[in-house]
Structure 1
Amino acid sequence: MRNLTKVLPWEDMDFEIVGLAKNGIEALKMVNEHQPDLILSDIRMPVMDGITFIKELRSQNNHCEVLLLTGYQEFEYARAAIQYGVKDYICKPIDYVELENTVRTLSLEIKEKRKKLYKEQQLTQVVHWANENFLLHTLLGQETDKGDIHLGEDEDVLDRKEYAILLVDLEGYAHQSITWSVHERKAWNLHMKEMIRETFQPLMKEQTVLQIREGEWCVVCSSPGIGHRLSKELLHPGFLKLQALIDQKDNMLLRMCLEQGPIALSQMASVYKRMQQALIVNPANEWFVNSDKVVSKDAIPVQDYNATQWKWIEQIGTGLRNGDSQALQQMISELKHYVGHLNENSVGRAEKLLHYLLIHLIREMRELHMLPVDQEESVWQQLQNSLNLKDLLSLLVTLIERSRESVSSKKTSEQLMLSAQDYIQHKLGKDFGIEDIAEYLGISCSYFCLLFKNHFGETFVEYLTKQRMEMAKCLLRSSDKSIAQIGVGVGYQERRYFTKVFQKYIGMTPSEYRLKESPAS
């Protein structure tokens, strides 16, 4: 078998030899590690023979191509192996010309199969992203277009569908993550999103996990029918599993708010706001909150909050992201007027609201690179003290003023590039190019390339590759996902191509890097 590695032009046939095994046991381990496209196997091997190996391979749902090498006296065994999906068999003594022709034919078939599979995966991904994007915009109360969503024959299916929502939020995330790098935060949030999906998949049908912002996720699923209602008790094992994962990183509390509906699509935005409010007005040490109930006697009923006050939470995000300095100034005036006209009974409620607004503002300013790390750390140190209403207002106004200055000082090109940076960070695992991001920004491809190179000092492809490789490094260190899964997670559908790019960028393969960076090493 070792001789075959030298006599055939494998590279010319677009094959890379990933391993040689002495027997079927070794071969199975290598298959699990490398996921090959083609296996050449002898029938007669020690420990585990070729027929048993192929049976075991198929029992593991592995459908890679197998070429069987057989002696003349083993011909009947080879015929029997065909039932296990062996592509062909080559009789000994081996005719190397025949073997090369067979392998070349298989190479073309594998490429065609891979191309077809890739197109199917792309279509599935596009449909998934379109539906996820639609649900996210609906949740946030933004205009959405169902034109690009694949709905099958029933175009009104989304409008008529009824949903349930589980809001998952990390208490203390903004403070605890201040020392993390951008790549660490993105990688960790991506890992948490996947873990939330896996944890609640058995309980929630047709679920979609949406990343609302760092440290906050919404699980949207079909509303459970009678007899399958969700409850605090059913969610508790999942809470314990996720909380244990969080405790490994930092001291943060996972909190959940449940609305099991049925919720119509048109109600989703208002329900989401109510769930956010329910988490805010209930004590931070309570891990579970019903969206329509206040469990604690110390909590302030959601309905007591004025709608104008909740509007400020939305204004922070829209004002900062749209560069609307005037809207931020208007918010300062409204806050001062609100605090100045409070009665004594409302002070406690107002302090809670201003404290939440501060945390929300810090999160948004961080996302938009408006708050340097040292300044953010200073704000958090101030929040550790027992600030009264006047101090909270002063700190909030100072931060809003700082954000206004940042918004006013940024040039149009800088705002475009910040939007481009945010777009790239949120789509690292997706298939997109210059045309997509230029269309998103509303500018031409040539103008985008010019702005991008001037702003970042490198081309879009160079920057995107670097961001994906840094994300891959974080995932290799912090998760137990396979190399192939991590490759897909950072935008590379082909494991081999991901390995090639990673090795070129880092100087070692993903497997070598993981081994080098593992705690044991």
Structure 2
Amino acid sequence: MVTLHEKYKVLLVDDEPIILRSLKAAIPWTELALEIVGEARNGEQALRLVEETAPQIIISDIRMPVIDGISLMKEVLSQNAKRIFIFISGYGEFEYAREALRQGAFDYLLKPIDHEELTAMLKRAREKLDRQKENDQLMHSVQMLSMLARERMFAEFTLGNQRPLQQLSWLENSELEGEYFMAVVQLDDYAALTKQWSPEEKRLWLFAVRNIVEEWSLEHGVLTVFPFHNGEWVLLFPGSLYTNKKQLGEDLVSGIRRYSKLSCSVGLSPVAHGIDQLSSVYPLAARALVQRFYAHQAGVFTEEDFPADGRQEIKYPKELEAALIESIRTLDMERMLHLLDELGLTIEALALPKESAERLIMEMLVVLYRQFEHLNLSSEGSHGRLLSRLHTFGTLNEMLASLKEEFREWMAHSSKPVTREDGRSVVEKAKRYIESNYHKDLSIEEVAEMADLSISHFCTLFKQISGYTFLEYVTYCRMEKAKYILQNSNVKVYQVAPLVGYQDPRYFTQVFKKASGKTPTEYREANAKQTH
């Protein structure tokens, strides 16, 4: 039989050395997966050992000098109500023992100690601890799923994808019903940083910055904060703080620099109202960050800070920008080049001054560059070089020709990962990572980041080469491991679920039956019959 129990720690408390010795010798501690971590002769000493060793089970005499058993239990349970107390009492202490049960003791036994009775009691105690642990894990998973669902919800609305979320009635009470404004926080030179960092270093840095941003948000009245792209976080402030927006942004920039030594910039949107406006305010906040390239230093920027000359007559071509983004996302080079020609015609039709035309192209370049960056198609510092070159061109055609040349070169790399052997090696690496981590709360974002690909690019590549979607392969790995455990051990079905990545045993059973045609119990029984 395979034993997969976690060891729980036990503290023994009794003022009679002979009882302590008999408890240590007569109980099959190893078989019960229990470990004695300390012995105390009185309640005062026991309190110190509880603090030092953090036991889950305490076996104590009910009558002791200095601090008696019930007083000890009250103090310990006030710190952690999930600890288990088993009391040892004499024949003349029935009332005292009953009072102990009323105050929260797990059970009690009489002297002289029946070791078989205590062993059975300890088995029940560890079963209770196992259930508590499973409940804690389930609650943690529920909380994590709730947080991830919330972040995904805000991200979907920011992308303008509201249709799948319209049935969530609790959104009616969203904190965004009132006025709010958005801050988009971006790490400066993120593409260059990711070239320097290993995948593990990248994960740690992003985790560290996220913690800094979240802690700062709690202290400054932020309504919500969520990651949007790698190296970018979105913060939503109540509209009442709008007059102080610049100072808030500067405090955030300095806080990130102070605690992480990394430079970042912040783009601020105008005030909005309602969660459905997220997709409208995000482009405004992100576009405000265009000024980062004019300023040549980190800072806090708003659309209001743009120079006014020529600004009023420009109607930014949002539909054209969206079409260009889609052409890049789908790697449609011919469509992209055609749309850049259309951009030139639009600028000519508006008869914009050179400075205004240049500013519009630079705004769009920043947005489009981000798409190339998410697909890992651009080279380090390439957007900076292109931005600086735009100032040197005297005509619109020269500017657009430069854009076409650079974009064509970036997109030319797109076919290599999908058609050549390095694409297969990336997918094999991803599969090995999934096979090693399927039992965790594994997300597609994590695996795509490990593969150094955007999520959309990773999904396409993984399906094309492996024949599985990401979720199908994770489920396949989990089911294969579950079958192995069911065939080769006596582990209970509800214990198999968390071993293969499912915190809810009922959901695990549903998935298993869908994948194999049998429930886990039926599968085990059928396999046993075949074996015999």
Which category describes the TM-score, using the shorter chain as reference length?
0.5 to 0.7
Answer yes or no: is the 8 Å Cα contact 1:139–1:272 preserved in 2: yes
TM-aligned CA deviation for residue 141 of structure 1: 1.4
- Residue 230 of structure 1 aligns with which residue? 241
What is residue 209 of structure 2 aligned with on the other side? 192
Deviations 1:33-91 (A, max 9, x none): xxx6545556789998866664454444x332322444538877766655653323455
Deviations 1:312-350 (A, max 9, x none): 654554333333333322344345557788978442x55
| Preserved contact between residue 316 and residue 360 of structure 2 (Cα < 8 Å) | no
The normalised TM-score by structure 2 is 0.61
3-state SS, counterpart of residue 228 of structure 2: strand
Q: Tell me the secondary structure at the aligned position of residue 106 of structure 1.
A: helix
From 272, 276, 281, the equivalent of 1:266 is: 276
Partner of 2:315: 306
What letter is aligned with 1:325? M
Equivalences, count: 434
| Match among 106, 111, 120 for residue 87 of structure 1 | 106
Aligned match of 1:402: 409
In structure 2, relative to structure 1, the CA distance for the partners of 1:183 and 1:93 (3 Å cut) is same
Sort the Cα spacing of 1:88 and 1:248 in 2 relative to 1 into closer, same or farther, 3 A. same
| Deviation string, structure 1 residues 118-173 (Cα, Å, up to 9, x no partner) | 44554554454444323321211125313674x36xx8556994462432312514
Identify the residue that residue 8 of structure 2 maps to in structure 1. none
- Of 182, 185, 199, which residue of structure 2 is paired with 1:169? 185
Task: Name the residue aligned to 2:527.
Answer: none
More deviation, 298-307/195-204: 298-307
For residues 97 and 476 of structure 2, the distance between their equivalents in structure 1, rounded to whole angstroms, comes to 50
Q: Give the direction of change, closer, same or farther, for the CA distance of 1:455–1:110 in structure 2 (3 Å limit).
A: closer
Q: 1:43-442, aligned counterparts within 5 Å?
A: 54-60=73-79, 62-70=80-88, 72=90, 82=101, 85-91=104-110, 94-146=113-165, 149=168, 151=169, 161-162=177-178, 164-170=180-186, 172-175=188-191, 177-178=193-194, 179-201=196-218, 204=221, 207-220=223-236, 229-231=240-242, 233=244, 236=247, 240=251, 243-255=254-266, 257=268, 259-261=270-272, 263-281=273-291, 284=295, 287-289=299-301, 294=304, 296=305, 298=307, 305-308=314-317, 310-311=318-319, 314-315=322-323, 317-334=325-342, 345-347=353-355, 349-355=356-362, 357-371=364-378, 375-376=379-380, 379=382, 382=385, 388-390=391-393, 396-409=403-416, 411=418, 430=441
Identical aligned residues as a percent: 21
Does the 8 A contact of 2:61 with 2:87 survive in 1?
Answer: yes
The answer on whether the counterparts of 2:185 and 2:266 sit within 8 Å (CA) in structure 1 is: yes
In structure 2, list runs of 5 or more residues that go unmatched. 1-11, 13-19, 41-45, 449-454, 479-497, 505-532
Q: In structure 1, how many angstroms separate the alpha carbons of the residues matched to 2:186 and 2:64?
A: 55
* Secondary structure of 1:230's aligned partner: helix
Which residue identity is paired with 1:27? V
Unmatched 5+ stretches in structure 1:
465-487, 495-521
Contact 2:84–2:125, Cα closer than 8 Å, also in 1: no
Is the Cα–Cα contact under 8 Å of residues 195 and 242 in structure 1 kept in the other structure? Answer: no
> Which residue is equivalent to 2:51?
28
Superposed CA deviations along residues 238-257 of structure 1, whole A, max 9, x for unmatched, are 86366334344344134252
SS in 2 for 1:255: strand
- Asked which structure has the greater CA Rg, the reply is 2
Query: Could you tell me which residue of structure 2 aligns to residue 467 of structure 1?
Result: none
Q: Structure 1's 68 and 275: CA in aligned 2 closer, same or farther, altered over 3 A?
A: same
Cα distance in 2 for partners of 1:25, 1:101 equals: 28
SS at match of 1:201: helix
Task: Report the aligned-residue RMSD.
Answer: 5.5
Residue 497 (structure 1) aligns with: none
Whole-Å Cα distance in 2 between the matches of residues 90 and 235 of structure 1?
68
- CA shift for structure 1 position 213: 0.8
**Structure 1 residues 248 and 272: CA distance shift in structure 2, 3 A:** same
Aligned in 2, Cα 1:249/1:266: closer, same or farther, shift over 3 Å? Answer: closer
